[in-house]
Amino acid sequence: MLHQIFAIALKDLKILFRDRGGMITLFAMPVMFILVMSIALQGVFDMGSEDNPIELLVVNQDQGILAGAVIDDIASLDGIILINTIDGKTISFDTADSLVSTGDYPVALIFPNDFSARIIDAANIAQSNETIVSFIADPTTSTQFLSPIRGTVQGYIQQTAAYAQAPYQIQAGFDTLADDVPEEQAVFVNQIGDAFVTQIESDGGLDVSGSLGVRFEQIAPSEFEITEEPDSVEQNVPGYTIFGVFFIVQVLATSLLSEKQNGTFRRLLAAPLSKTALLLGKLLPYYVVNLLQVVLMFGVGVLIFDMNLGNSLLALVLVTLVTAAAATGMGLLVASFGKTPEQIGGLSTLLALTLAAIGGMLVPTFVMPGIMQMISKISPHAWALAGYQDVIVRGLGVSAIWNEAAVLMGFALVFFSIAVWRFRFD
């Protein structure tokens, strides 16, 4: 009996290893996934470290000295690089706004011109107006990335403001005390107050409670047409939609292989039409299914989660059309290479997971190392996600997504052209 068990196992192993393509994808898929995710996630775990510092644009419009003190304190940290000049020129608000909107930098810190004055006023004048420190950030940037930056900056600003206000608040306290004591003791109290304030100033201040005269706000670049901040639904639904759309690859490729194995494909070849027309006709149903997928998933987002679809329905439709074209084109490409169901299944899964990972579906591309951000450009997932984010999250229109649409259509044409060239019709 044991001999029979081993004989059957050996026979199945021979059959399994005979399908070299299937075995390659079986082993290549986990290896590729480990490599891609390990490299991509390096940016998540070491971002803000000395080896992978965060680049923070800084615009200092303050007419006093306090903003400069805050900047010097933050610049001493190992995990943050402050950038206040580019090509030897001091960064203005408009420059920082433009650099964040184009994705060159994730966030910019803006100190207003009344920063120092408002902080001092808060120590001397009750109910004084607050100064507003702004963070310009792309709305697609995750809070996990922004929160540590904001927390660090706010901490140093509050510390600097408290130190700057301490002498004024202490002096005011001694002045009030002098008003409440007999006249002959008032001079003595004021002298003690002056000496105490002088000592506080020389020692670097004192942390005190009360209004610091500072308010913080996060704003989107002025180019983006955002009426309200996007929530997690607007951030996540497009990504999961793209992930689902590209799963059509395996379904399409498996169907074509099954028709060839069953002989129905050969009968279609007898019809009076070109091979290109035949393949386009086979792709069309799956293309329609892709479009229905998008409608369904976005419909769930709108009806259940009150998801915002942006300001341009035409732009949203355009991104959807070219994304579906790229997905079905990839399905035909896989069908032209796969010879067995195992090969098609392994190759489809390999492409789906790998391209999704490097395209920003699993890990945001802005936290990836620089080399991974460059590699992400070869993934249609990355371009599709950028297009949807431009429309839904950034509130942009058709003029903003032409680049993504053209690249996705290019992917579709390349996939289809190679597939037609490689496809075995017999």
Residues 69 and 38 in one domain: no
- List, in sequence order, every beta strand (DSSP E) within 156-315: 214-219
Q: In the sheet where 107-111 sits, what is the strand order? A: 80-83, 54-60, 107-111, 131-137, 214-219
Q: Is the same domain home to 215 and 242?
A: no
Domain shared by 241 and 385, yes or no: yes
Alpha carbons 279 and 306: distance in angstroms, whole number: 39
Q: In this structure, are strands 107-111 and 54-60 parallel, antiparallel, or unpaired? A: parallel
| Strand pairing category for 131-137 and 214-219 | parallel
Q: What is the CATH number of the domain that holds 101?
A: 3.40.1710
| Residue 191, domain member (yes or no) | yes
**Which of 194, 219, 244 is the endpoint of a domain?**
219
Euclidean distance between CA atoms 166 and 236, whole angstroms:
46
Exposure string of 89-124, with b = 16+ CB inside 10 Å and e = fewer, is: eebeeeebbbbbbeeebbbbbbbbebbbbbbbbbbe
Any domain includes 73: yes
- Domain co-membership, 202 together with 254: no
State whether 215 and 241 are in the same domain: no
The amino acid that residue 103 corresponds to is: G
- Do the beta carbons of residue 106 and residue 100 sit within 8 Å? yes
Asked whether residue 48 is domain-assigned, the answer is no
Q: pLDDT tens digits for the chain (426 residues)? A: 666 566 666 655 666 566 665 555 556 655 655 565 555 555 554 555 556 678 889 999 999 888 888 998 888 887 788 888 888 888 999 999 999 988 888 899 999 999 988 888 876 766 667 888 999 988 887 777 788 888 888 888 888 887 776 666 555 555 554 455 455 544 544 555 555 555 444 544 444 444 577 888 888 898 887 766 666 788 788 888 998 899 888 888 888 887 777 766 666 666 666 777 777 887 888 899 999 999 999 998 899 888 888 889 999 999 999 999 999 999 989 988 877 777 788 788 888 888 888 888 777 777 777 788 888 899 999 999 999 999 998 889 999 899 999 999 999 999 999 988 887 766
Residue of 285, 136, 119, 284 whose CA lies nearest to 217: 136
Strand partners of residue 265? none
| pLDDT reported for residue 406 | 96
What residues are paired with 108 via a beta bridge? 57, 136
| Domain annotation covers residue 313 | yes
Count of domains in the chain? 2
Range of the domain at 363: 21-43+227-422
Domain boundary among 219, 236, 270: 219
pLDDT at 349: 80
Rounded CA separation 220/223 (Å)? 8
Q: What is the pLDDT of residue 352?
A: 83
Tell me: do 274 and 350 sit in the same domain: yes
Same domain, 110 and 206: yes
Residue 121 shares a structural domain with residue 207: yes
**Strand partners for 54:** 80
- Assigned domain for 10 exists: no
383 lies in some domain: yes
Are residues 303 and 320 part of one domain?
A: yes
Which strand (E) or helix (H) includes residue 349?
Answer: helix 341-358
Same domain assignment for residues 272 and 376: yes
| Closest alpha carbon to 50 in 29, 30, 25, 79 | 79
Say what the pLDDT of residue 141 is: 79
pLDDT (0 to 100) of residue 36:
56
For residue 338, is it within any domain?
yes
Q: Within this chain, do residues 258 and 151 fall inside the same structural domain, yes or no?
A: no
What local confidence, expressed as pLDDT, does residue 203 receive?
47
Q: Please tell me the distance from the alpha carbon of residue 416 to that of residue 336, in angstroms, as a whole number.
A: 10
Predicted structure pTM score:
0.75
- Look at residue 15 and tell me if it is in a domain: no
The closest alpha carbon to 298, from 319, 325, 328, belongs to: 319
- Burial (CB < 10 A; 0-12, 13-18, 19+), residue 4, is exposed
- The C-alpha atoms of residue 401 and residue 391 are separated, in whole angstroms, by 8
Domain-terminating residue out of 200, 219, 238: 219
Note whether 184 and 250 are same-domain residues.
no
